Amino acid sequence: LKMNNMGVAPLWDGLMQFAKQEPASYHVPGHRHGQLYRQYIHETGLLKQGDVIDALAELARIDVTELSVTDDLHEPAGMIKEAQQKAATYFGADHTFFLVGGSTSGNLAIILSSCNVGDLIIVQRNVHKSIINGCKLAGVEVVFLSPDVEQMTGLMTVPSFSTLEAALHQYTEAKAVILTNPNYYGLSVKLEHYIELIHSYNIPVIVDEAHGAHYGLHTSLPQSALQVGADAVVQSTHKTLPALTMAAMLHIKGSRINLDRLQHNLAMLESSSPSYVLMASLDLARALMEHKGKEWIEQALQLIEELINWINKADLCIKLQQIDKSEQDLDQDPFRLLIYDSTTRMDGFELQREFEKYNIWVEMATTQYAVLVIHLSITEKDITQLKETILKITKSIEQKCYFNGHHSPSNRIHYINEATQISLPMKMERYKQYGSKKTILLDAAIGAKSAEMIVPYPPGIPILFEGETITASICEQIKVLTQLGARFQGNTTIEVGEIEVFMND
């Protein structure tokens, strides 16, 4: 492998070289460089060369442990350190930490490293649950900011600039701001001004960029959070780049994050036997992208454009949602397609099931959209299959009676009461027993703490977290959303005007 001989992938290369020397293992793991899998294959004679268990046996050659030559993720000094440095350079960070516990472990660790118990931080309300869990583990006070609405799609992005401005002005004691960008639908906000504003308060900006590991790797792609000055960025490398599932990275830029403390927290939360296969896949992903990324991105973008043009031209009931290009502050990830039925006869979940009928597996669905992640390896043949499938689904839609269709584009429900855009500070605790619960009329619940998480759908953003105080404005917001026809996630009585609250005892 020339790439490795050039030393482009220090960890992958180092593990290969060690494997080639056919070391005799008297250490963990128990498969012994895959030997036990090979023994099974041999003894039972059940497997043919090329089977997945055979691949497992081969890959297990590099599934090693901390030895004098294999470095240590939690105290890197050799090939892991080198691989992390190469990643930092490529992604534009000062320091990069390989994560074997997914973006989850990065989000937990960075929150524990940015604030002490009782500190106040400002957090976008529509975040991944790992951010909420990190806040609970850290025992911080959180001011939640409601996200802004993209008008054409009704999808939520980050909070508006003015909301953030007001929150920072009101809570000058805030120790950090946490944003999520892009969202699950590939919509993202240009964060440069946000970050300048936050830095004017001299506190760090943490960006959960889980869905944007590919951002900034080509001029045709939106800029990455690191490129516009974020202090800490968590990326699910596995989601859009060629790393194995659960392999992610945490990038640090500048000096607002204490690296020792971060390293300590990562070592606390992540396995003390981190997977070398996952780590090597991160090194490989970076090396492959550095080597071939520009070319792959261009090829893929061309094919995506072809598909988009075809859909637009074909004038089908199936459409692609694209944001208004005049919206200067917004970006749309070209690798994420939002497909919907413009006649509203099929909702996103039905579209997803239709695709699955034809062995096409999409990323997710909402009432409105089937969301497709397009990969760097997309081919002309894939595009042809997609076109054919879209035509078949179109036929199914056309055969469908309007009466069974879902009602007017429900994703347009996005009433946010201005008074609730900035929440009251909420004390987050890992395991809080608030006492017993009762279900009461919503109107009677003002001032009480909610015993349930209230998530209207759309947009799927929690209006109330468990333990959050119910204010008059939140109450009004819930009522308006109910009138507009929003549904609520989970087994809740909120649609009939009742809510479960904690009793004061």
Q: Within positions 7 to 46, which residues make up the interface with a second copy, using CB under 8 A?
A: 16, 19, 21-32, 35-37, 39-40, 43-44, 46
Chain positions 131 to 150 lying near a second copy, rule: CB under 8 A, are 133, 136-138
Stretch that binds a second copy, among 267-275, 309-317, 325-333, 445-453 (CB under 8 A): 267-275
Longest dimension (CA), the chain: 73
Q: Least distance to a second copy from the beta carbon of 76, Å? A: 17
Q: At 289, which helix (H) or strand (E)?
A: helix 276-314
What is the distance between the alpha carbons of residues 378 and 487, in angstroms, rounded to a whole number? 36
Q: How far is 81 from 58, CA to CA, in rounded Å? A: 25
List the one residue out of 121, 118, 120, 95 whose CA is nearest residue 106: 95
* Near a second copy in 151-190, by CB under 8 A: none
Q: Which range, of 173-181, 276-284, 414-422, 464-472, touches a second copy by CB under 8 A?
A: 276-284
Q: Which is nearer to a second copy, 114 or 482 (CB)?
A: 114
Q: Which residue's CB is nearer to a second copy, number 168 or number 213?
A: 213
| Phi, then psi, of 139 in degrees rounded to 5 | 65, 40
Helix (H, G, I), strand (E, B) or coil at 471: coil
Single residue of 303, 320, 373, 484 touching a second copy by CB under 8 A: 373
Of 8, 80, 82, 105, the residue at the interface with a second copy (CB under 8 A) is: 105
Q: Does 274 bind a second copy (CB under 8 A)?
A: yes
Residue 478: phi and psi, rounded to 5, are -60, -40
Tell me the closest approach of the beta carbon of residue 150 to a second copy, in angstroms.
22
> Which residues, numbered 413-432, are part of the site for a second copy (CB under 8 A)?
430-431
Interaction between residue 270 and a second copy (CB under 8 A)? yes
CB closer to a second copy out of 133 and 493: 133
To the nearest whole angstrom, how small is the minimum distance from the Cβ of residue 273 to a second copy?
A: 5
Does position 491 bind a second copy by CB under 8 A? Answer: no
**Least CB distance to a second copy at residue 428 (A):** 12
Options 52-60, 151-159, 171-179, 435-443: segment touching a second copy (CB under 8 A): 52-60
Tokens standing for 135? 């806040």
Q: What residues does 179 pair with on adjacent strands? A: 207
List the interface residues with a second copy, window 377-396 (CB under 8 A): 377, 382, 385
Among 238, 253, 345, 449, binds a second copy (CB under 8 A): 238
Distance CA 81, CA 166 (A): 41
Total number of residues that touch a second copy (CB under 8 A): 112
Q: CB within 8 A of 396, min separation 6: which ones?
A: 346, 354
Q: Are the CB atoms for 210 and 176 separated by under 8 Å?
A: no
The one-letter amino acid at 191:
L
Site mask, a second copy, residues 241-260, x = CB under 8 A?
xxxxxx--------------
Rounded to the nearest whole angstrom, what is the least distance from the CB of residue 446 to a second copy in the complex? Answer: 29
Residue of 194, 276, 340, 488 that binds a second copy (CB under 8 A): 276
Q: Judge contact between 417 and 476, C-beta under 8 A.
A: yes
Identify the DSSP state of 454. B
The tokens for 453 are: 């998480």
- Whole-angstrom Cα distance, residue 377 to residue 434? 51
Comparing CB distances to a second copy, the nearer of 355 and 465 is 355
Question: Alpha carbon of 5 to those of 14, 463, 464: distances in Å?
Answer: 10, 54, 55
Q: Where are the alpha helices (DSSP H) in 213-275?
A: 237-240, 259-269
For residue 234, give both structure tokens.
Answer: 């968590």
What is the distance between the terminal CA atoms of the chain, rounded to a whole angstrom? Answer: 68
Q: Which of 10, 102, 147, 425 binds a second copy (CB under 8 A)?
A: 102
Options 8, 11, 14, 64; binder of a second copy; rule CB under 8 A: 64
In whole angstroms, the minimum distance from the beta carbon of 372 to a second copy comes to 4
Q: Does residue 304 touch a second copy according to CB under 8 A?
A: no
Are 166 and 195 in contact by the 8 Å Cβ rule? The answer is no
376/218 Cα distance (integer angstroms): 12
Q: Which is nearer to a second copy, 149 or 311 (CB)?
A: 311
Which one of 89, 170, 220, 272 is in contact with a second copy (CB under 8 A)? 272
Amino acid type, 131: I
Q: Which is nearer to a second copy, 373 or 484 (CB)?
A: 373
Q: Does 104 bind a second copy (CB under 8 A)?
A: yes
